[in-house]
Amino acid sequence: MAKRSKLEMTQMWADIVLDRWKSRIEFYHIGDTGDLLRSLQAQVETDANGDPKKVVFLFLYYGRFVDMGVGGDITLDDVPDPSGHRLPKPWYSKVFIREVEKLGSMMAAKYGWDAAEAIQAFRETTFGTRRNDDAWFAHQLR
């Protein structure tokens, strides 16, 4: 399996978030016009080295109100609405929290692996590969 750059991993993750949001919007039958669905976008911003710096998600603002089940004359204090007209439809909040945790785990693994490879490269450069425990050290990295 080819190694992916942090940027590729982040872009793929952002695309997955958008796909999951689209599925939730369809599951909850949100929006008759499809405007919310069409408004979903993700932009991965990078630093000078091309590493991901942040991910910006864009969608129509009213989508947040739908997620909470508020808007119009329904306040957050009224949720869940006893009349049944406006119940929360958590299309983005639960998905986003779960997916951010996944990205954190993936990046920790990626950065951890990069750090371990750098340590091994330094060790090999400094001490050479003649030591018997090099195989053990490489095994521990995997």
Residues 6+ apart with CB under 8 A from 40: 18, 21, 22, 57, 58, 59
Residues 6+ apart with CB under 8 A from 130: none
Query: Hey, where are the domains in the chain?
Result: 6-141
User: Which has the minimum average pLDDT: 7-16, 69-78, 124-133?
Assistant: 124-133
**What mean pLDDT value characterizes the chain?**
79
Give mean pLDDT, residues 116-122. 68
